[in-house]
Amino acid sequence: MAGGISRRRMLGQAVAGGAALALGRMHGAAAQEPAGHARPWVVTLNTSTVRPASLDDKIRAAEAAGYDGLELWSNELEDHAKAGGSLEALGKRLADAGLKVPNIIGLWNCMPESDAERPAAHDRVRRQMEDAAKVGAAHIAAVPSPDRPSIDLLWAADRYRELLEIGEGFGVVPAVEFVGFFQGINRLGQAAAIGIEANHPQACLVADTFHLFRGASGFDGVRHLSGTFIACFHFNDAPAQPPRTEQGDDDRVLPGDGVLPLPQLLRDLRAIGFNGPLSLELFNRPLWERDPVEVARLGMSKIRAVIEKADELP
């Protein structure tokens, strides 16, 4: 047991240094960027946007479209390893392509209600964090689930702190993510309270424009946060119909194609010191049927257009 802990600590120290350098480069000054890039914003591609393309095609799409990074899913890492692939080699390939890994989606069922269930959940969390560390991920989203309406915020904060402490051994920081159509943690303020009450210096959030809309948090609340409290911001839009309370993930549309106040949101995020990662995350089935490079490029052009509108606001 002691040897296993030692190896984890060594892995965590090595990856923490790499992640710090990666984030420094992501937030640093622009240098040799592709023409028309979205600077000064850090922009990444969530692989759900180009699902069901292969992992190879997702990497090629992000690289071809000039994204700063690729936001992967835990099941992709698991499938890659099960197929005999090396996660360390995958991390090197991403780095060689100039793609950082700001966040992994994510830790589900990581806050079971029963104390008896938590050891098994934490074993699963450790495996997912170790996989995330191998590809150089800085964060991994922690969704307060299994979902239930009775989740107590202070109880959830204690569970989140446990996850943060586990992450210290791998150099990967869990970030609380709220889900707008959940019964329990579905609003920005709830997620922020969990992060604050965890009383841990690395506590942070993953926010999402769709979930701000779907859960009725609205968009003004971000003005009360610090930019350093946000690990990653999923960026997408939502249509006027169907009604808000009936919308699901597959209703998301490309930035600028819906009704969300995205330009003002960018102004507010910049004012609190956040400049990314903005991660393009959609589950739009018509887009899945198109060429992933075409979709990635279209998404980047849509994000640039929103940034231009934000810059034009008084």
At 146-186, the pLDDT tens digits run: 999 999 999 999 999 999 999 999 999 999 999 999 999 99
Q: Report the range of poorest mean pLDDT among 18-22, 108-112, 150-154.
A: 18-22
What is the assigned CATH class of domain 41-312?
alpha beta
Q: What is the mean pLDDT of residues 240-262?
A: 98
Q: How confident is the model at residue 76 (pLDDT cuts 50, 70, 90)?
A: very high
Residue-level pLDDT at 65:
98
Summarize the confidence of residues 30-46 as an average pLDDT: 67
Domain ranges for the chain: 41-312
Please determine, for residue 105, whether its predicted confidence score (pLDDT) is greater than 90. Answer: yes
Q: What is the pLDDT of residue 14?
A: 42
Per-residue model confidence (pLDDT) at position 175 = 98
Write a three-state SS string for 11-41.
Answer: HHHHHHHHHHHHHHHHHCCCCCCCCCCCCCC
The arithmetic mean of pLDDT across residues 181-199, rounded, is 98
Question: Is the CB of residue 102 less than 8 Å from the CB of residue 26?
Answer: yes
The counts of H helices and E strands in the chain are 11, 8
Give the mean pLDDT of 194-222: 98
Mean of per-residue pLDDT scores for the chain: 91
Confidence of residue 16 (pLDDT cuts 50, 70, 90): very low
Q: How confident is the model at residue 2 (pLDDT cuts 50, 70, 90)?
A: very low
Q: How far apart are CA 62 and CA 46, in angstroms?
A: 9
Q: Concatenated DSSP letters for 185-205? A: S-SHHHHHHHHHHTT-TT--E
Mean pLDDT of 202-227: 98
Looking at per-residue pLDDT, the higher value among 29 and 122 belongs to 122
Give me the mean pLDDT over the 276-301 stretch.
Answer: 98
Q: Give the closest residue to 144 by CA, choosing from 128, 160, 131, 132.
A: 160
Q: Which amino acid is at 293?
A: V
Q: Considering only 16-30, 205-219, 222-236, 243-257, which range has the smallest mean pLDDT?
A: 16-30
Q: How far apart are CA 252 and CA 88, in angstroms?
A: 33
Mean per-residue pLDDT, 248-267: 98
Tell me if 191 sits within 8 A of 174, measured CB to CB: no
Predicted local distance difference test score (pLDDT) of residue 37: 54
| CB proximity list for 173: less than 8 A, separation 6 or greater | 138, 139, 140, 164, 167, 202, 204, 231
Average pLDDT over residues 8-16: 41
Query: pLDDT tens digits for 262-272?
Result: 999 999 999 99
Rounded to an integer, the average pLDDT of 96-102 is 97
Instruction: Place 23 in a pLDDT band, splitting at 50, 70 and 90.
Output: very low
Quick one: pLDDT at residue 87?
98
- Are the C-beta atoms of 30 and 37 separated by less than 8 Å? yes
The whole-angstrom separation of Cα 207 and Cα 265 is 12
Quote the pLDDT of residue 40: 87
Q: Is the pLDDT of residue 7 over 80?
A: no
pLDDT of residue 33: 44
What per-residue confidence (pLDDT) applies to 32?
42
pLDDT given for residue 38 in this prediction:
63
Bridge partner residues of 70 (DSSP): 45
